[in-house]
Amino acid sequence: MYFEIFTKNKLVSTLLHMGEALFKAGAEVYRIEDTLNRIGYAYGATNMNVFVITSSIVITIELPGDEHITQTRRLREGSSTDFHKLEKLNSLSREVCYHPIPLDELDKKVQDISKKKASRKETLIGYILGASAFSIFFGGSFYDALVAGLIGVLIWLMSLYLFPLCMNTLVYQFLSAFITGIIICFLAKFLFFINRDYIIIGDIMLLIPGIMFTNALRDLLLGDTISGSMRLVEAVLQTFFLCIGFIFAIWLIGIIL
């Protein structure tokens, strides 16, 4: 048994690290619970109870000899969406379920995957293409798409440098929408060949929490009512602050110019 070599607390700690990494990468609640259950059984647990919501992870492991260990991890950072990390973490979890490796090695692999960041160049290209494509999709012209792509660069820069300065995501959503709206409205006042609305539509799609909203509905349909409700409220609030930011920017430019 692995418990003869590794401490029992190390197993729980490693599972919490795995759960936190999955959550931050954007995994659904049921996927996190299922993954941690499977890994726990693979390492010799006789019974697993995992409870995950958007603010905490609670794990109770029953070990041979009717011994129980419970630990809680507070999730203070919000989740994002990183499919590359999800793929790596899912592959690692399947690997250790079939062939368990030492817990220290597993913990190190989880930490290494968590620390990896997406290429800034690839992310920038995604912002530009996303904003431009959505602008054209909703009826914008080539010039609208071009300006939307350039504003997408600004949104990318704000995600890197403004977001860490904000106290929470809601403040960032408002500020990023307000700054973006001010610039778009200002340009539209002097560049008569562009359409303000199509540019705003293209850029707002970069900020709308669509995946969060989808995951919230999925959690609700799967019976994870608490997690689904919390994610749904968070998605609605982010969208609300996003809209308020753009509305305030349009109103302010309308008064000034």
Question: Does the pLDDT value for residue 114 go beyond 90?
Answer: no
Q: What is the pLDDT of residue 67?
A: 81
Q: Are 96 and 76 in contact (CB under 8 A)?
A: no
Q: How confident is the model at residue 170 (pLDDT cuts 50, 70, 90)?
A: very high
| Coil, helix or strand at residue 57 | strand
Beta sheet of 67-74, edge-to-edge order: 47-53, 56-63, 67-74
The model's pLDDT over 37-84, given as tens digits with 9 standing for 90+, comes to: 999 999 888 899 999 988 899 999 988 877 888 899 988 776 777 888
- Helix, coil or strand: residue 119: coil
CA distance 117 to 45: 33
Looking at residue 44, its pLDDT comes to 85
Q: Using CA atoms, how far apart are residues 166 and 163, in angstroms rounded to an integer? A: 5
- Name the 3-class secondary structure at 77: coil
| DSSP β-bridge partners for residue 56 | 53, 74
Distance CA 102, CA 231 (A): 35
As a whole number, mean pLDDT of residues 224-232 equals: 88
- The b/e string for 145-167 (b: 16+ C-beta within 10 A; e otherwise) is bbbbbbbbebbbebbeebeeeee
Residue type, 156: W
- Using the predicted structure, report yes or no on whether residue 180 has a pLDDT greater than 90: yes
Give the dihedral of Cα atoms 178, 181, 187, 192; nearest 10 deg.
-160
Taking the C-alpha atoms of residue 213 and residue 217, their distance in angstroms, rounded to an integer, is 6
**pLDDT at residue 94 greater than cutoff 50:** yes
What residue has token string 């008064």? 255
Q: Which of 27-31, 132-136, 147-151, 185-189 has the lowest mean pLDDT?
A: 27-31
- Extended strands (E) in the chain: 47-53, 56-63, 67-74
Closest CA to 19 of 96, 93, 99: 93
> Could you tell me the CA-to-CA distances from 141 to 137, 145, 190, 215, 251 in Å, in that order?
10, 6, 17, 33, 24
